[in-house]
Structure 1
């Protein structure tokens, strides 16, 4: 009996690989632009692939776009979809480009639980590339949102003024 209880406990823990985890893998969204992983790898740099396709995070303060204050639009580095306007960018002090709002309809949202708690993940609505996360600690005088975006996921297009 003493051996049976630990064995049942181990069996129970192993069998906790729920069908919800399997469903999550099966519920991949479809996007207007879809490519194989080999095609993405051929088109993106290693850092872009890591962030956009593997939902990685670049080191804080490593992107030149973090301190970019030029007028223009920030596009998806993978598919060129316009995502954020420079007029909505602010210095959050976090080390990543931050915006108080997105270009409506061009950013999609999901849930990220990879680090042990739930965060609102952002990705490009056209190609599905991982951009970053959105938090409720942005400027109170505007939206109160902080779209914390990996600079490597963005391509800056200056305005033609």
Structure 2
């Protein structure tokens, strides 16, 4: 089955990054992402199966095709995420998986995408992040054949196998090592205050009642202090009596990640910003009725933008939420 057609206002982005099991979750459920499909593209045979592609005779690569709303989540940001999932210096496959069907490539759907993809590739080269040459190709998109149902959203229905595969393949370790270098941390130390760095990078908790936003109720938007992603609205803020900023819902669940935290000797649910990976605070189930969600967030992880400044700073679409 061929890939879907984008509706009005939507676009397609197609990326090959090795095993497609590992290339869905990073994009899935982000704001503006309509769907992420696993499939095959770049080859010379029609309607290939997984077994066909595995023979390395079809010319196809395992890939993902993303339907997205560019006004909500831009193609440039998709490219940023793509580079962070792969080893762009490996021409023989990706990590544990070898062969041309596991090659990396950006399949562009129009000239604008080509221009942006070339610019992002050049920026990665210039950054010096990788010492070896960047070999990921940028080529025109062709027919995309949707893979068998078993391969769709593998991370959801084969949770343990997916985790073991990510770790065992070497992909997870490589991406963490490549995108959290000493240089990256040095840059963050320059960008952030000491307290902001300790909170976002080392899971520190700022003092209750002695932080910028615990009793701040002006209308506006709270964004990630590192990435600028919109996280919380003043409209969803409430007085929790804890001395920290508290919200009963995020702007979009896709920008937030919850994870188990055993750092203080008992189980808690930590809250991270999904794209910057910064520590934000903790989640509790003692908020306002009826939902009772309570996101207790460190002020140091946030930057507040007053409602009258939203248009100027590029967040105008969030005015109605504030």
What's the TM-score, normalizing by structure 2?
0.39
The superposition leaves residues 3-60 of structure 1 with CA deviations (integer Å, 9 ceiling, x where unpaired) of: xxxxxxxxxxxxxxxxxxxx7xx957969xx552111111111000000011110000
- Are 1:81 and 2:229 matched, yes or no? yes
Residue in structure 2 matched with residue 100 of structure 1 by the alignment:
248
- Are 1:71 and 2:222 matched, yes or no? no
Paired residue for 1:144, among 282, 287, 292? 292
Residue in structure 1 matched with residue 191 of structure 2 by the alignment:
43
Taking a change above 3 Å as real, the CA distance of residues 28 and 120 of structure 1, as seen in their structure-2 partners, is farther
Q: Can you give the 5+ residue segments of structure 2 that lack an aligned partner in the other structure?
A: 1-166, 309-318
Taking a change above 3 Å as real, the CA distance of residues 120 and 54 of structure 1, as seen in their structure-2 partners, is same
In structure 2, distance between residues paired with 1:28 and 1:96: 34
Shift of 1:135: 0.2
Residue in structure 1 matched with residue 105 of structure 2 by the alignment:
none
Taking a change above 3 Å as real, the CA distance of residues 78 and 50 of structure 1, as seen in their structure-2 partners, is same
- Are 1:111 and 2:260 matched, yes or no? yes
Paired residue for 2:281, among 132, 150, 155? 132
- Are 1:154 and 2:305 matched, yes or no? no
> Which of the two has greater helix per residue?
2
In structure 2, distance between residues paired with 1:132 and 1:28: 25
In structure 2, distance between residues paired with 1:50 and 1:28: 23
Residue in structure 1 matched with residue 128 of structure 2 by the alignment:
none
The CA RMSD measured in Å over matched residues stands at 2.2
Residue in structure 1 matched with residue 203 of structure 2 by the alignment:
55
What's the TM-score, normalizing by structure 1?
0.77
Taking a change above 3 Å as real, the CA distance of residues 39 and 61 of structure 1, as seen in their structure-2 partners, is same
Aligned residues: 134
Look up the SS of the partner of 2:217 in the other structure.
coil
Q: Which has the higher contact order (CA 8 A, sep 6+)?
A: 1
Q: Can you give the 5+ residue segments of structure 1 that lack an aligned partner in the other structure?
A: 1-22
In structure 2, distance between residues paired with 1:110 and 1:29: 21
Stretches of 4+ aligned residues off by more than 3 angstroms: 26-31
Look up the SS of the partner of 1:103 in the other structure.
coil
